[in-house]
């Protein structure tokens, strides 16, 4: 089965996926829900805001892919997480199978390609789960 990495938006943490994780695990997928630096459970680091950026969050996820030794990953980004996964795809395309984003406002109708060439699909999370 697949390894899913679910990346939250700016107003959340990894906990926001708590209702989706059991559905994916029931389908025998491995699921990872990291919290980005300075957000959610690590919001105590907000005093470092001048040192936290999109690059920091891309590094959060690329480091997790490396240290967990993940490949053929289905990378899912919600809202701002869509920007993060696009950066991850540009840096570590060899570790990814698919990218999905939900509610990323800069996407238009249909499909868009990330800098790495991976197609990004705008779908509801529920639809994605049905097709996983």
Note whether 73 and 4 are within 8 A (CB). yes
Identify whether 79 is a catalytic site residue: yes
Whole-angstrom distance, CA of residue 50 vs CA of residue 31: 31
Residue from 79, 108, 114, 116 carrying the catalytic annotation? 79
Cα→Cα distances 111→7, 31, 83, 101, Å: 19, 25, 15, 11
Distance of CA 1 to the CA centre of its chain: 18
Cα→Cα distances 71→46, 68, 84, 127, Å: 31, 9, 17, 23
Which residues are annotated as catalytic? 79
């Amino acid at each position: 089965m697949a390894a899913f990495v679910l990346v939250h938006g700016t107003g959340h943490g990894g906990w926001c996926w708590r209702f989706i994780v059991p559905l994916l695990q029931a389908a025998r997928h491995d699921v990872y829900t990291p919290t980005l630096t300075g957000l959610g459970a690590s919001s105590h680091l907000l005093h470092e805001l001048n040192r936290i950026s999109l690059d920091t969050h891309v590094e959060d996820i690329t480091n997790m892919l490396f240290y967990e030794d993940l490949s053929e990953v289905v990378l899912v980004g919600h809202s701002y997480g869509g920007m993060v996964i696009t950066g991850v795809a540009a840096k570590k395309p060899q570790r990814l199978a698919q990218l999905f984003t939900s509610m990323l406002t800069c996407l238009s109708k249909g499909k868009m390609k990330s800098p790495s060439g991976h197609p990004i699909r705008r779908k509801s999370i529920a639809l994605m789960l049905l097709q996983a």
